[in-house]
Amino acid sequence: KAKKVRKNKRILGRSIEERPMGIDNREEFGHWEADLVIGRKSGKDQVLLTLIERKSRELLIFKIANRTARAVIDEFERLQNEYGEMFSRIFKTITTDNGSEFANLNEIEKFSNTLVYYAHPYSSWEKGTNERHNGLIRRFIPKGKRIDNYSIDDVIEIEDWCNQLPRKLLGYMTPDEIFNDELDKIYAA
């Protein structure tokens, strides 16, 4: 069987190697990982954009029209409008993979102070928190099932389940509790 040559994968932007080491210890709030959960690979199907905050493990799931770079950046612009001037304090950095759907993600650096980092090609372990949570989503939406078949309410229910699950590594607190505490600190400042 012929081997695939993977050394020519394009790097889209700032490498994860440039990311400050302090992000790895999860002590500071505001560092996110992003990915897409794809239902059916063939045909036109919606996809789920997943964002997870590294410290609190808060998961945000957005149902978007398709896996294009335009659909992803539109969702981030909508998110920026929702949080307004606090966006850059809540989303300090975003780490993602080199998929074509994230090709334009560094555009958010133009309208905010958020920095975007790209993991090495074929190194999904570099954003393992997001990959782990995508696995939790797969408990409810198995591979090969169309995302179109799931309503927004279904997606919100999955997000709530993940965010209300107490975690031993969080001192048996839920991601929602830690996330809301951090938001309170940001809005109080």
* pLDDT at residue 16 in the model: 87
Q: What is the pTM of this model?
A: 0.89
Task: Name the DSSP class of 138.
Answer: T
Task: Give pLDDT tens digits for 20-70.
Answer: 888 989 999 999 999 999 988 776 889 999 999 999 999 999 999 988 999
**Nearest Cα residue to 52 out of 169, 136, 154:** 136
With a cut of 80, say whether residue 5 has pLDDT above it.
no
* CA–CA separation, 150 and 167 (whole Å): 27
* Rounded-to-integer distance, Cα 37 and Cα 46, Å: 9
CA 134 to chain centre: 10
pLDDT value of position 3? 64
Strand partners, 181: none
| Per-residue confidence (pLDDT) for residue 10, from 0 to 100 | 57
DSSP track, 34-101: EEEEES-SSSS--EEEEEEETTT--EEEEEES-SSHHHHHHHHHHHHHHHGGGHHHH-SEEEE---GG
